[in-house]
Amino acid sequence: MRDENKKENDLMEKIVSLCKRRGFVFQGSEIYGGLAGMYDYGHYGVALRDNIKELWWKRFVDDREDMYGLDSAILMNQKVWQASGHARGFADMLVDCTKCKRRFRVDHLKNKEVCPECGGKLSEARQFYMMLETHLGTVHDEASLSYLRPETAQGMFVNFKNVVDSFHPKLPFGIAQIGKAFRNEIAPRDFIFRLRELEQMEIEYFVRPTDWEKYFEEFRTQMHEWIKDIGLQKSHVHEIEITDEDRAHYSKRTIDFEFDFPFGQKELYGLAYRTNYDLTAHKLEYQDEETKSRIVPHVIEPSFGLDRTFLAILSDAYTEDELNGEVRSYLKLSPSVAPVKVAVFPLLKNKPELITKAREVYIILKKLIGAVEFDDNGNIGKRYRRQDEIGTPFCVVIDFDTLTNDTVTVRDRDTGEQERVKVGELIEFIRNKIN
């Protein structure tokens, strides 16, 4: 068991180190010693996140006819949070160790009386509010109080009437939003797993009260399809039915989708049946033309953490093997999420004729595929290693044969095998492979 734990810690260390070395994720405020629960995303991190968001938007908004996009403000009137129950209810139960003074969330402890770190006695549990507060304007008083939203969901509920008035949707329909959320987590940890500033991709799907089970099941299937889209291993995802006592205050049924992260099986996504709790709280209704009555629709909420998606993808993609007698580490990313799809190299960096031809090929690919890099730094082996580590599925090399017969080699990241392809057929060849 101890060896297993060590292997898992090693894997996490390798992922964190690759993320920094290759410009995916940096510690927030690093030059000032960091800030707990905050991370900054670098060039390849931004690209990977954008790819995840784009795929999500395509599956859940663009490919459907019943979904409306939204980008609501992070700060909202404090009455939103009073009505939703967050202002008094968004809290964790917390205990302190009377000996080593460490602090723990009660729901994370197996033994609620003994400190898991030093064996000391734990204090009585007390509430710890997770809403981050701020004040708007010059006066710091109750009236100027606002909260950084802890979920994107409320922005969608308070815009329910706007969406109905603008688009006149028929039930069932959904509102979708991607955006930042903030939680004053007691113990931010495990790299980008538990953050204080996080990003969510959420849907509030409004249904007739009697239809909730049907759409709950539909989204359950859709969430598994999404997990396939981003290339996560099916066997690493586990559904957990959340018990009555552990469910959020607004939910009548919740399934967590847990993932085998390197540090253990932990929540990746949630699917909740929020009943008509939120629309009732905000005093919102819907005129149902089918039944000619005013009703309060019920809500199915699939909720996806973007940062946890990012970490799950990296955990599944990180691979070590031996290629041509050399040990290498690489990211076996699905081409759909890879930050760079193709890299183009001249075989040698001091041959102007190779560089000119390589740049010609690069410009054609860049125009049509977009996420393409040119690299003539260092020897070719080093260039392959660099692209392998950022998960680039294909490397195109321009060599002396290219100058005579207009063909290039295309190297596959996972097998290291190379194929010769005509420049005129390159785009189609790569597009077929990516798709």
Task: Tell whether residue 202 is a contact of ligand GAP (CB under 6 A).
Answer: yes
Question: How big is the chain, counted in residues?
Answer: 435
- What separation in angstroms does the CA of 219 have from each of 175, 251, 273? 14, 16, 11
Q: Does 194 bind ligand GAP (CB under 6 A)?
A: yes
Q: Which stretch binds ligand GAP (CB under 6 A): 70-78, 86-94, 287-295, 304-312?
A: 304-312
Residues 306-325 that bind ligand GAP (CB under 6 A): 307-308
Cβ atoms 224, 245 nearer than 8 A: no
Handedness of CA 46, 396, 362, 426 (dihedral sign): negative
CA distances from 425 to 261, 409, 421, 428 (A): 40, 12, 7, 6
Residue 99's H or E segment, with its range, is: none
Quick one: which segment of 264-272, 280-288, 386-394, 426-434 binds ligand GAP (CB under 6 A)?
264-272
In what helix (H) or strand (E) does residue 313 lie, and over which residues does it extend? helix 306-317
| Phi, psi dihedral angles at 144 (to 5 degrees) | -90, 0
Minimum distance between the CB of residue 288 and ligand GAP, rounded to whole angstroms?
A: 25
Six token digits for residue 231? 């290339």
Q: What is the token pair recorded at 40? A: 């900054």
Structure tokens belonging to residue 330: 């690489």
Instruction: With residue 385 as reference, give the H or E element that holds it.
Output: helix 380-390
Q: Which CB sits closer to ligand GAP, 195 or 358?
A: 195
**Residue ranges in 120-159 that form contacts with ligand GAP under rule CB under 6 A:** 151, 153
Residue 322 C-beta: closest distance to ligand GAP, Å: 35
Contact with ligand GAP (CB under 6 A) among 174, 179, 305, 339: 305
Give least dist CB 55 to ligand GAP, A.
16
Q: How far is the CB of 93 from ligand GAP (least distance, A)?
A: 15
The C-alpha atoms of residue 148 and residue 396 are separated, in whole angstroms, by 46
- Closest to 80 measured CA to CA, from 157, 190, 26, 183: 157
Least distance (Å) from ligand GAP to the CB of residue 170?
24
Shortest Å distance, C-beta 202 to ligand GAP: 6
- Three-class secondary structure of residue 283 per DSSP: coil
Based on CB atoms, which residue is closest to ligand GAP, 112 or 249? 249
What's the Rg (C-alpha) of the chain?
25
For ligand GAP, the closer of residues 178 and 342 by Cβ is 178
Task: State the DSSP string of 330-344.
Answer: EE---TTT-S-SEEE
Number of residues located near ligand GAP, criterion CB under 6 A: 18
User: How near is the Cβ of 179 to ligand GAP at its closest, in Å?
Assistant: 11
Our finding on whether 269 is near ligand GAP (CB under 6 A) is yes
For residue 49, state whether it binds ligand GAP (rule: CB under 6 A).
no
CA distance 12 to 147: 33
Q: Which is nearer to ligand GAP, 268 or 338 (CB)?
A: 268
Quick one: which of 379, 420, 67 has its CA closest to 222?
67
Stretch in the footprint of ligand GAP (CB under 6 A) among 85-93, 197-205, 217-225, 349-357: 197-205
Task: Identify the CA nearest to 394 among candidates 418, 377, 376, 370.
Answer: 418
x-or-dash string of contact with ligand GAP, 282-301, rule CB under 6 A? -------------------x
Interaction of residue 198 with ligand GAP, rule CB under 6 A: yes
Supply the minimum distance, in Å, between the C-beta of residue 226 and ligand GAP: 13
Q: Which residues are at the interface with ligand GAP (CB under 6 A)? A: 151, 153, 183, 185, 194-195, 198, 200, 202, 267-270, 301, 303, 305, 307-308
